[in-house]
Structure 1
Amino acid sequence: MNRLLVLETIIQLKSFTKAAEVLGYTQSSVSQMVAGLEKEFGIQILKRSRTGVSLTPEGEEIYPYIVQALRQYQALQERAASLKGLETGTVRIGAITSVSCYWLPPLFKAFQEKYPNIEFVLQQGDFGMIVDWLKRGEIDFGLMTSEYGDGLNKVVLHETEMKAYLPSKHPLAKLDKVPIEKMQDDPFILVEGGGYSEPLAAFEKAGAKADVRYRIQDDYTIMAMVEAGLGIAILSELVGTRTDFDVVEKSVVPAVKRPVAVVYRDKETLPIASQHFIDFMIEHEKDLM
């Protein structure tokens, strides 16, 4: 199992040297373990280039099975630990930026007060990336919209409102609420959803069409662009909670909602720590903004 862990770390860091440093091995030992795996499987798994280390086509084929084996072994270890009365383990989460920034820190803190030996690994991405990570077994569960990801199990934690963000001197900034059809006349800055977009769905439902000029993954880059007068945007209300951008936040008519959910494949096969953290979030859903 150590060889599989070494291989996963090399892929994540794209480097034999960095993987050896993180795992506490010599680079020679890391190379020998990979060579042993390649000999055992009878294929070349990794290739080196100027940009780092990557999977060969054959490696791409078997890598999801390697990740799955590691997660199952992790679940086995945590189950054994729980039977001894220990709550240890790693929780691997994929989340959209607004949720990872505003919801997770206080939840992490409260959970670790109860289970101080739990570790968290957080990956930030759009909806499409999170679904891909789930399918490949790279994360235990995702925190994203419940409107996307066919075939996955979902538990809605909270419904957040998505607001219009406008330059401070924009004509629409004088309105109490912004009709979505009035937003189609301005350049629109779209937060990249990776397959689904609540704002675009809202425009379509209203019989309007956004004039999308920019597609950006980072919410705060979008806020800076709105401040600079490059366009307008519709983002989660969480984004405007702790920022000092010179922009105006307004509700949209009709209201644009985002049902944020815990998304996973099969809860029963998740590591024990992740099962506990999911239950913990559900129990504390009333504390979420």
Structure 2
Amino acid sequence: MDERDWLILQTLFKEKNMTKTAHALYLSQPALTSRIKQMEKEFGVQIVNRGRRGVTFTPQGEYLARCAREMLLKMQHIKENVLNMENKMTGTLRLGVSTFFTDYKLPGLLKLFKDEYPEVEFKVMTGWSNEMIHLAHNQDVHVAFIKGDYSWKGGKKLLFEEPIYIASKEPIALEDLPNLPRIDYHTDQNLKTVVDNWWAENYTKPPLVSIDVDKAGTSKNMMANGLGYAILPGMLLSDLKNIHKIAIQTRDGQPIIRKTWMVFPEEYLQLNIVRAFVEFVERTDLQNIP
């Protein structure tokens, strides 16, 4: 079994479909079938059954599929350690990045790092912050950028803090919010909980959500065109002029702040490229990255 075989098992177990697996791995279906038959011959067991509803794994196949993640991770660590024995700054950085950070900070940050270390490549996975912290816990990424506070016992660096605003095209009063149209958007559970708790502390009526969109950036653009108010992190609003902002506060008058963190398993600092990247981020002024 080589690395490609373990990847085939992992992907097929996820997809439960030969066609999708072949497409994902850029293989022909005959080549995929041949590799599976070779694995079955090597272990002397049947790994999968194929039927009208797709692929099902035998008990032996399920065991091998569960081993696939561990084997692939082990191979990845071996490659990284071998590269780390050289003084050259080379290899692939695996990053897990929250959606907001991906859209507004990551491209500029990676360009600056690439300018300094041109032989380093990147593998970037994006999603909600709770998904990225999960990748970091599983050591599927070297470094994760997350929004909000999560339990984490490894390396951790606070990158910046930003207030959360009620933003609108025209001036509005906080007491009028329950009767005004709100442009809502899908966000991570952490921010949603913060906003929902603030609302519950201040109002007895639910918000009047008139538009529900998928991204904060879409909500921002609709708000800027006067279609309603939105509750948005401050950094997202930094490029807008002539809008009205009210920072939301706790009942004792403290601003509600959203934090952005860089987190990483500390053992990864033994790798040259990870240590260089972490130190680079720590000395970079992220607020001024375009």
Q: Percent identity?
A: 19
Q: Which residue of 1 aligns with 2:256?
A: 256
Asked if structure 2 preserves the Cα contact closer than 8 Å seen for 1:185 and 1:211, the reply is yes
Distance 1:5 1:144, change over 3 A: same
Which deviates more, 219-228 or 6-15? 6-15
| In structure 2, distance between residues paired with 1:86 and 1:136 | 27
- Structure 2, unaligned stretches of length 5 or more? 250-254
- State the TM-score, normalizing by the size of structure 1: 0.72
- Give 1:268 shift: 0.5
**Structure showing greater Rg:** 2
Q: Which residue of 1 aligns with 2:223?
A: 226
Distance 1:158 1:2, change over 3 A: same
- Give 1:137 shift: 4.6
| In structure 2, distance between residues paired with 1:226 and 1:249 | 10
Q: Which residue of 2 aligns with 1:175?
A: none
Distance 1:225 1:269, change over 3 A: same
- Give 1:67 shift: 2.8
- State the TM-score, normalizing by the size of structure 2: 0.72
| Deviation sequence 1:3-59 (CA, Å, 0-9, x none) | 2234456658982333443xxx55433333344456649574697888xx8886977
Q: Which residue of 1 aligns with 2:108?
A: 106
Q: How do residues 72-83 of structure 1 correspond to structure 2 at under 5 angstroms? A: 72-83=74-85
| In structure 1, distance between residues paired with 2:124 and 2:222 | 27
Residue 280 in structure 1 maps to residue 274 in structure 2: no
- Structure 1, unaligned stretches of length 5 or more? 173-177
| In structure 1, distance between residues paired with 2:164 and 2:52 | 43
Residue 186 in structure 1 maps to residue 180 in structure 2: yes
- Give 1:202 shift: 3.6
| Deviation sequence 1:112-155 (CA, Å, 0-9, x none) | 12222222222332223323434455433321124134666532
Distance 1:243 1:252, change over 3 A: closer
Distance 1:101 1:44, change over 3 A: same
Q: Which residue of 1 aligns with 2:207?
A: 211
Asked if structure 2 preserves the Cα contact closer than 8 Å seen for 1:68 and 1:137, the reply is no
| In structure 1, distance between residues paired with 2:148 and 2:96 | 14
Which deviates more, 222-231 or 140-149? 222-231
Q: Which residue of 1 aligns with 2:71?
A: 69
| In structure 2, distance between residues paired with 1:242 and 1:49 | 53
Asked if structure 2 preserves the Cα contact closer than 8 Å seen for 1:78 and 1:87, the reply is no
Question: AA paired with 1:268?
Answer: E
Q: How many residues align?
A: 271
CA RMSD, Structure 1 to Structure 2 (Å) = 4.0
Q: Which residue of 1 aligns with 2:235?
A: 238
